Amino acid sequence: MAEIIGAVTTSHVPSIGIAIDQGLTQDAYWKPLFDGYLPAKEFVRKLAPDVTIVVYNDHGLEVFLDRVPTFGVGAAAEYRSGDEGWGPRPIPSFEGDPDFSWHLIEHLVAQEFDVTMFQEMGVDHGFSVPMSIAFGGPAGEVEAWPTKVIPVTVNTIQFPLPQPGRCFKLGQAIRKAVDAYPKDARVLIMGTGGMSHQLQGERAGFMKPPFDRMFLKNFVDDPIALTNIPLGEYMREAGHEGAELIMWLVARGALNANVREVYQHYHVSASLTAAGLGCYVNA
């Protein structure tokens, strides 16, 4: 039987990936951020997931504005890290689990989540940076990722975006699908993006730690309160790209009502982002 054994939620800034790949993690600017990631790596190493479901948003690598699925699931045997303008990252490709992916897709559609199926897809920083944070090391250190992966995409780049409550329900549907998978698999779910940040417009550089702290607290104590915040308010309160926090809500929906926070790290800032990370297990 497959089982969700925990969750890791984290921001997914591209320059975090570049810092890892270029061996800059101990530089003065990056050290406090990366030192804070070490307990999360230990958490993931001990969990030793067979499969990791990575809930993220594509930023224009695989999905462009001419066709944007609200929700998508990868069903490929392999996912390569794409070139977002800095060259492809020097990391191994990610091994998929097509049987599990198709099971997930079938069960999500049966639960009225009519997801787009990706039989081929490249993955961008929204996927690869959290994988490096949780599983990786400097360039060349990781010869093969110690987990298979299933990418799950959520549209956060073109209006209309899915509402927070809908994302939480997607997580609940993922949970049901995992519980119904007959093969043995230890499954980690990751939710990426956020926390508060805005990359463009008059408020570029906007961050709001009090909102992020409220989110981190209610993520454990009262996730339903977070699903009741309308998307527009996420954008007003956490910046335009702060809306990426809806991917954290997918991960939260896949956990029990009661969870235990094993570890939390919050650092302002990494690039233009208030960088947050959380490690959770079912209570």
Give least dist CB 257 to ligand DHB, A. 29
Closer CB to ligand DHB, residue 161 or residue 185?
A: 161
| Residue with smallest beta-carbon separation from ligand DHB | 271
* Catalytic residue flag (residue 107): no
Tell which residue, 3, 20, 121, 135, has the closest CA to residue 63: 121
The pair of three-digit structure tokens given for residue 41, joined into one six-digit string: 């790596």
Number of C-beta neighbours around residue 68 at 10 A: 19
CB nearer ligand DHB, residue 15 or residue 227? 15
Structure tokens of 67? 């066709």
Locate tokens 């530089």: which residue? Answer: 27
- What part of residues 188-217 is at the interface with ligand DHB (CB under 6 A)? 193, 197, 199
Region 40-69 residues binding ligand DHB, contact defined as CB under 6 A: 59
Choice from 14, 49, 122, 165 touching ligand DHB (CB under 6 A): 14
Give dist(CA 228, CA 175) in Å, integer.
Answer: 21
Residues ≥6 apart with Cβ < 8 Å to 89: 17, 21, 81, 128
Residues in 218-257 at the binding interface with ligand DHB, rule: CB under 6 A: 241, 244
Check: CB of residue 261 under 8 Å from CB of residue 231.
no
125 among known catalytic residues = yes
- Residue 116 corresponds to which tokens in the numbers above? 């787009």
Q: Which is nearer to ligand DHB, 103 or 197 (CB)?
A: 197
CA 103 remoteness from chain centre: 21
Residue 103 vs 267, nearer CB to ligand DHB: 267
Q: Which of 59, 103, 107, 125 is catalytic?
A: 125
**273 lies in the site for ligand DHB, by CB under 6 A:** yes
| Min CB(269)–ligand DHB separation in Å | 8
Count of residues that bind ligand DHB according to CB under 6 A:
13
Q: Using the rule CB under 6 A, is 139 a contact of ligand DHB?
A: no
Query: Max alpha carbon distance in the chain (Å)?
Result: 51
Tokens matching residue 168: 């939480």
Instruction: Give the chain's radius of gyration (CA, Å).
Output: 17
**Active-site hit among 197, 240, 265, 267:** 197
Question: Element (H or E) spanning 23, and its range?
Answer: none
Measured from the CB atom, the residue of 12 and 252 that comes closer to ligand DHB is 12
Provide the binding-site residues for ligand DHB, judged by CB under 6 A: 12-15, 59, 193, 197, 199, 241, 244, 271-273
Any idea which residues carry the catalytic annotation?
A: 125, 197
